[in-house]
Amino acid sequence: MRPTRPWIRRIVIAELALIALVLIVTGWFYWQSRAATTAFNGMLLDPPQDVPVVRLQGSDGQAHALTDFRGKVTVVFFGYTHCPDVCPMTASTVTRARELLGNQADRIQFVFVSVDPERDTPERLASYLAKYDSSYIGLTGDEQAIQELATAFGVHYAKVQSTSALGYLVEHTASTFVLDREGRLRAVLPFGLTPEQMASDLRTLLRS
Amino acid sequence: MVRRVIRSYRTIALWIVATSLLFSVACAGGTTPTPTAASSPTPAAAVQPSPTTVPSPTPTTPPTPTPVPTPTPSAMHGTPTMGHGMGMGMATPPVQNEFREGPFILRNVWARAATQADGLSAVYMVIENTGDQPDRLLHAHCDAAQTVELHETRMEGGVMKMQPVDGIDVPAKGTVELKPGGLHVMLIGLTRDLNPGDTIEVELHFEQAGHVHVEATVVKP
């Protein structure tokens, strides 16, 4: 009986050490996975998705498809100029995020696709976007073409009649989409990111 | 004696096996995508139905607004508080001012810059009711807009919905925040350009307290 005792002790010590090691390793993994989720604020699409080539009227007077902006990281938002709250907020978040990117800002193109082509003329979009940055492009035009593009992005929009003096309102998906430099859908950013969060995501996408 | 030696070898062997096992697990874990890691090829993204480039048979919008690449709930920052405005975009209020009238303290009153051609803007503020009586903001008036309405933006499944509201309740000893993505005073039919730095007169009509006058500072959009 006696000679086995140190063995039991040693095994117990070994087991304890093993448990500690397992705890450390799992803890490290947990921390790692948390670090990874906080690294990107939006949702990355892997592999990136192709988007259809839909030509619309640009606020700069030229026809554009989203694929025209290849070579830049393109930030796409579907909204309308009679939207006084969410759309300007997104536009200003993008603007501040670009400011945070400093000299890399030129590598980011913001495109605002109208979901209210009835009221949003290219001229109206131009003056609406000029408040933020002269490089921003608004797209409007044929209702069916816009619908096709929106569907490809999984964007829902619908006219809603209201008692407001605005007449009808348009409800729409408030997410922001990011196309990579090859013009493919690479990330979806939820509404409400801070400029810092958006800038961090854009920086990641500029690197990849 | 011999037995001891053999057993101590066994312990060492057990250690080696255990550590190598852990290492292999660690290596495997490092290379295989963890479901939560956003930067690795995520199964979550794979499970997500890809945005259909196939034209839908009906051009009309599907009744259920399920944006295909909906951000995961964990990525939806501020979702739980979206009902009454999200604390986002602006960590700090863009304007710091304060107006006191009756039981009310109105703080950080600001409006978004817009041109007369845009025709629209919105006013945001923090309304604090220091009184013992609950009150209700019924409507507002502004010298720079033909029509002023109270609106609320709500998020439903990633879809932004805006609607006029009849009034905004301000509980006794309570605070209501009007902020982007939530409640706001909407200016419709601007009668002049609202340039950053301008101030506009806003009159708020409360059910109990009556008229409360504030000045909103116009902020760069």
The structural domain count of chain B equals: 1
| Residue A172 in contact with partner chain B when CB distance is under 8 A | yes
Cα(A91)–Cα(A85) distance, integer angstroms: 10
Residue B79, pLDDT above cutoff 80: no
Tell me the percentage of chain A whose pLDDT exceeds 70: 95
Give B110's contacts in chain A (Cβ within 8 Å): none
CA angle B126, B165, A88 (to 5 degrees): 65
Q: Which of B62, B161, B221 sits opposite A131 (nearest CB)?
A: B221
Question: pLDDT tens for residues A98-130?
Answer: 999 999 999 999 999 999 999 999 999 999 999
CB contact under 8 A, A36 and B153: no
Question: Which residues of chain B make contact with A156, given a CB cutoff of 8 A?
Answer: 61-62, 65-67, 159
Interface of B with A in 38-97 (CB under 8 A): 38-42, 44-46, 48, 50-53, 55-56, 59, 61-62, 65-72, 74-79, 82, 86, 88-89, 91
| pLDDT per residue as tens digits for the range A173-200 | 999 999 999 999 999 999 989 999 999 9
Q: Is the peptide bond before A47 cis (omega within 30 degrees of 0)?
A: yes
Q: Which of B93-97, B161-165, B169-173, B201-205 has the lowest mean pLDDT?
A: B93-97
Average pLDDT over chain A, rounded to an integer: 92
| B68 vs A3, A11, A154: nearest CB | A154
Q: Which residues on A lie below 8 Å from B154 (Cβ)?
A: none
A34/A48 same-domain check: no
Nearest to A176 by CA among A164, A167, A186: A186
Residue B162's pLDDT band (boundaries 50, 70, 90)? confident
Residue B161 to residue A160, Cβ atoms within 8 A = yes
Which of A13, A90, A142, A188 to probe by mutation at the B interface, max B CB count within 10 Å?
Answer: A188
The CATH number for A124's domain is 3.40.30.10
Query: What are the pLDDT digits (tens) for B107-140?
Result: 999 999 999 999 999 999 999 999 999 999 999 9
Residue A23 in tokens: 């705890």
A96 and A68 both lie in a single domain:
yes
**Are residue A57 and residue A35 in the same domain, yes or no?**
no
Tell whether A14 is within 8 A of chain B (Cβ): yes
- Give the pLDDT confidence of B167-181 residue by residue, as tens digits: 999 999 999 999 988
By DSSP bridging, strand A73-79 and strand A108-114 are parallel
Residue B200 belongs to some domain of the structure: yes
The rounded distance, in Å, linking the Cα atoms of A201 and A177 is 12
Residues with Cβ within 8 Å of residue B211, at least 6 apart in sequence: B203, B204, B205
The pair of three-digit structure tokens given for residue A56, joined into one six-digit string: 């619309």
Q: Is the pLDDT of residue A2 over 50?
A: yes
The residue of B10, B61, B163, B195 whose CB has the most chain A CBs within 10 angstroms, and thus the best one to mutate to test that interface, is B61
Whether A43 sits inside 8 A of B68 (CB atoms) is: no
Domain count, chain A: 2
Nearest by CB to B159, from A21, A50, A174: name it. Answer: A174
Report the residue from A132, A152, A192 with minimal CB separation from B221: A132
Residues A23 and A84 in one domain: no
Q: CA end-to-end span of chain B, whole Å?
A: 84
Residue B3 lies inside a defined structural domain of this protein: no
> pLDDT at position A14, please?
87
| Model confidence at B26: pLDDT above 60 | no
User: What per-residue confidence (pLDDT) applies to A30?
Assistant: 78
> A81 with A165, same domain?
yes
Looking at residue B19, its pLDDT comes to 64
| B102: pLDDT strictly greater than 60 | yes
Q: Minimal Cα distance from A82: which residue of B?
A: B120
Q: Are B110 and B133 in contact (CB under 8 A)?
A: no
Dig out the tokens for A98 from the structure.
Answer: 């670009």
First vs last C-alpha separation in chain A: 65
Chain A positions in Cβ-Cβ contact with residue B118 (cut-off 8 Å): 81, 127-128, 131
pLDDT, mean of residues A73-92: 93
* Whether pLDDT at B50 is above 50: no
Complex ipTM over 0.85: no
Count of beta carbons in the 10 Å neighbourhood of residue B25? 14
What gap in Å lies between CA B51 and CA B38, rounded to an integer? 18
**Chain B contact for A21, CB < 8 A?**
yes
Domain residue limits at A144? 43-207
A30 with A47, same domain? no
Its domain, for residue B136, covers 85-219
Average pLDDT of the segment spanning A144-159: 96
| Residue, of B92 and B139, whose pLDDT is higher | B139
The residues in A 81-100 lying below 8 A from B, measured between CB atoms, are: 81-86, 88-89, 91-93, 95
- Please give the pLDDT value at position A1: 52
Residue A84 pLDDT = 73
* Chain A residues touching residue B77 (CB < 8 angstroms): 41, 190, 192-193, 197
Residue A13 and residue A81 in one domain: no
Considering CB atoms only, which of B3, B29, B121 is closest to A84? Answer: B121
Q: Which residue has the higher pLDDT, B94 or B153?
A: B153
| pLDDT above 70: residue B7 | no
What's chain A's length in residues? 208
* B101 pLDDT tier (thresholds 50, 70, 90): very high
Residue B198 lies in a domain: yes
Q: Which residues of B touch A131 (CB under 8 A)?
A: 113-115, 118, 221
pLDDT digits (tens, 9 = 90+) for A34-72: 655 558 999 999 999 999 999 999 999 999 999 999 999
- Quote the crossing angle between the two packed helices B2-31 and A5-39, to the nearest 10°: 10
- Residue B218: per-residue pLDDT: 95
The pLDDT of residue A203: 94
Percentage of chain A with pLDDT > 90?
Answer: 76
| DSSP run (H or E) holding A128 | helix A122-130
**pLDDT for B47 beyond 60:** no
**pLDDT value, residue A173:** 95
**Minimum distance, in Å, between the CA of residue B212 and any CA atom of chain A:** 23
pLDDT confidence band for B40 (50 / 70 / 90): very low
Q: What is the pLDDT of residue A91?
A: 95
B8-24: burial string, b at 16+ Cβ within 10 Å, e else: eeeeeeeeeebeeeeee
Give the DSSP H or E segment for B147.
strand B145-156
Q: What pLDDT does residue B43 have?
A: 36
- Same domain? For A77 and A176 the reply is yes
Output B47 or B99, whichever has higher pLDDT: B99
Task: Note whether residue B4 is domain-resident.
Answer: no
Residue B66 included in any domain: no
Q: How far, in whole angstroms, is CA A206 from its chain's centroid?
A: 13
CATH of the domain at B169: 2.60.40.1890
Residues A49 and A24 in one domain: no
The span from the CA of A56 to the CA of A52, in Å, is: 12
Note whether A32 and A81 are same-domain residues: no
Structure confidence at residue B187 as a pLDDT band (50, 70, 90): very high
Quote the mean pLDDT of chain B: 73
pLDDT value for B17: 58
